[in-house]
Amino acid sequence: MLDKNKELVKRYYQEAMGGLSGIAEVVAADFVDHHFPPGTPAGPEGVRQFYTQILGSVFSDMQIEIDYLIAEGDKVDCHFALLAKHTGEFAGIPPKGIQIRCPAISTFRIEGGLLAEAWEIFDSGDLMQQLQA
C-alpha cells in the first residue's frame, strides 16, 4: 500500500510536468493544495490552473527532480526540486532567462486511491536570491 501511495505522488508530478491530461485520475474532485494561492479552485481544475496559469506564467521548461519519498499511513512526503527557466515576472523581478533550482517538500494525504490534500514548503529565500542574481 505504501509503495502504491508513493507511485501516486510520482504520477502527480509526471502529470503536472507533462500536460496534465490525466490529472483527474490522480487527484480527487475536491483535492485541495494548501499552498496554492487563495481562490484556486479545488480538484483537477485547480491543479491545472496552478501549473499552467500561475507557475507556468513565471517559469518554462519545468521539471521535477524527486530526491526521495517517505510514506506512512495515508501520507507521503516528497522531497524534490523544481528545475525551471525564469521567463516571466515574479514578485516584481523581471524575467532573466536563467535556470533556477528550487528545493521543496510536499506532504500529500491519500484517500480512496487518490490525492485528497497537499501541503508544501519551499526555500523562498533561496529562490529569491537566484532570481535577483
Looking at the DSSP bridge assignments, the partners of residue 33 are 118
Looking at the DSSP bridge assignments, the partners of residue 72 are 75
pTM for the model stands at 0.94
What does the DSSP 8-state code read for residue 56? G
> Which residues fall within 8 angstroms of residue 76, CB to CB, at 6 or more apart?
5, 6, 8, 9, 69, 70, 107, 108, 110
Interval 77-128: pLDDT, tens: 999 999 999 999 999 999 999 999 999 999 999 999 999 999 999 999 999 9
